[in-house]
């Protein structure tokens, strides 16, 4: 299982390199900055594929896995001259954000229940950094400036920008609380997972 986990990490690394390479080749290096939630989740999954880390598994369980699932259900890959290749990379990356932590959990690692406040605090920090970069580079990290095209978020955005931001905040809080409840139910409130191995 450890070998499979590392192989998944290598595939994820290749997928990320393809995405970043295509964006750079098209002169869109700004979009390659890892400030989207799924970009950060992919980097976390890549690190988790190498060794157990409680904080990484927590981040992926509460934020990365729900975000990746939504991205697969409502895909919004960037537009590219090499669209087929970028689409393949998009779906591979998001699938591995789900598979790598699941692989870790089959090896006995567990996310920790009761981490919703910590995860939401981390998300606020990421959002502030993303908003600052968006303002200066004209990007749309975390989709704070506008929703991804073709997703249900567009309908919310049309109701007003403030309502849209509040909806994003509420949606992420609801997802974290749901994952918290699932964690407590599946693994027990005091589940520590890799916490005993590496903080």
At 195, give phi and psi (nearest 5°). -60, -30
pLDDT tens for residues 133-142?
999 999 999 9
Tokens of residue 128, six digits? 């502030």
pLDDT tens for residues 86-117?
999 999 999 999 999 999 999 999 999 999 99
Q: How far apart are CA 4 and CA 148, in angstroms?
A: 33
Count the domains in the chain. Answer: 1
- Band (pLDDT 50/70/90 cuts) for residue 176 is very high
Q: How far apart are CA 8 and CA 49, in angstroms?
A: 7
Q: Which domain holds residue 101?
A: 2-196
């Amino acid at each position: 299982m450890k070998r499979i986990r590392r192989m998944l990490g290598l595939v994820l690394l290749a997928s990320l390199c393809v995405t970043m390479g295509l964006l750079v080749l098209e002169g869109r290096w700004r979009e390659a900055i890892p400030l989207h939630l799924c970009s950060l989740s992919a980097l976390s999954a890549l690190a988790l594929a190498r060794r157990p880390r409680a904080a990484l598994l927590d981040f992926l369980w509460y934020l990365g896995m729900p975000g990746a699932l939504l991205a697969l259900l409502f895909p919004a890959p960037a537009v590219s001259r090499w669209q087929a290749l970028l689409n393949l990379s998009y779906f591979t990356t998001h699938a591995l954000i789900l598979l790598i932590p699941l692989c870790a959990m089959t090896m006995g690692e567990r996310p920790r229940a009761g981490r919703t406040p910590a995860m939401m605090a981390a998300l606020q920090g990421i959002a502030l950094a993303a908003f600052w970069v968006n303002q200066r580079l004209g990007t749309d990290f975390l989709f704070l400036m506008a929703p991804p095209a073709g997703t249900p978020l567009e309908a919310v955005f049309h109701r007003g920008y403030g309502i849209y931001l509040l909806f994003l905040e509420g949606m992420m809080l609801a997802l974290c609380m749901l994952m918290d409840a699932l964690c407590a139910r599946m693994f027990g409130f005091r589940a520590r997972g890799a916490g005993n191995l590496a903080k």
